[in-house]
Amino acid sequence: MAELLRHSGTVEVFDDIRSAKWMKLVVNAAELIPSAIIDMPLGDAARAPGMLEVMRAAGYEAIHAALADGATIVPIIGMPPVTTNHPERYVDQIFEKVLTVFSQADTLTTSLQDWRKGRRAEIQEVNGWVVDILKAHGQPAPVNQRVVEIAFEIESGKLKAGPDNAKGLIEASEAAGRARGSIAAGS
């Protein structure tokens, strides 16, 4: 099958499909719902003040959920073999690749497209899954939790997707960063 598809683009075959799917979820947690919440194309969202940090923080929580769930860090989307033992660095690398290689200036995430067409987005299936997995392992996921809360408020009609929602995401990201810093300082 892979050989038949190679003429169309990069084809990767994985022995550990579970880990590969987790890596896709890691990048999706960073990009899909956070950019939809502020109603911006992916690149614009990443350049909005404070949002790159929010998106990375959501990805960091997702990679820790993946590892807690038994996944290993594997290269996807044509990345070279993983050469880092730092999960956050992997998130930074894969997210940068998505932004520079797989996105155009006007790329709208599937979640934002869904909302604009009146459909629900995969909130629980992506960011909610991160929250659930980390909770099951006794770990918090404050950024993904806030993403889920705001996204459900948008879907219920209590909020409208737009740049004003960035504030709540940034506050959650900054609080999570402070918590990580105090944990690291105490260890």
Supply the pLDDT for residue 84.
64
Supply the pLDDT for residue 5.
54
Tokens describing residue 160:
């409208």
pLDDT in tens, the chain (187 residues): 656 655 665 655 557 778 889 989 999 999 999 999 999 999 999 999 999 999 999 999 999 999 999 998 877 766 666 666 788 888 888 788 877 877 777 889 999 999 999 999 999 999 999 999 999 999 999 999 999 999 999 999 999 999 999 999 999 999 988 876 655 555 4
Supply the pLDDT for residue 90.
83
Tokens describing residue 147:
């993403």
Distance, CA of 58 to CA of 34 (rounded, Å): 8
Supply the pLDDT for residue 2.
55
Q: Please tell me the total number of residues recorded for the chain in this structure.
A: 187
User: At the fourth CATH level, which superfamily is domain 2-176?
Assistant: N-(1-d-carboxylethyl)-l-norvaline Dehydrogenase; domain 2 (1.10.1040.10)
* Domain boundaries, given as residue ranges, for the chain: 2-176
Tokens describing residue 25:
């979820």
Best CA proximity match to 28, nearest among 53, 4, 3, 63: 63
Per the CB < 8 A criterion, the answer to whether 172 and 146 are in contact is: yes
Distance, CA of 180 to CA of 151 (rounded, Å): 24
Tokens describing residue 11:
């084809």
Q: 3-state class of 147 per DSSP?
A: helix
Distance, CA of 163 to CA of 102 (rounded, Å): 23
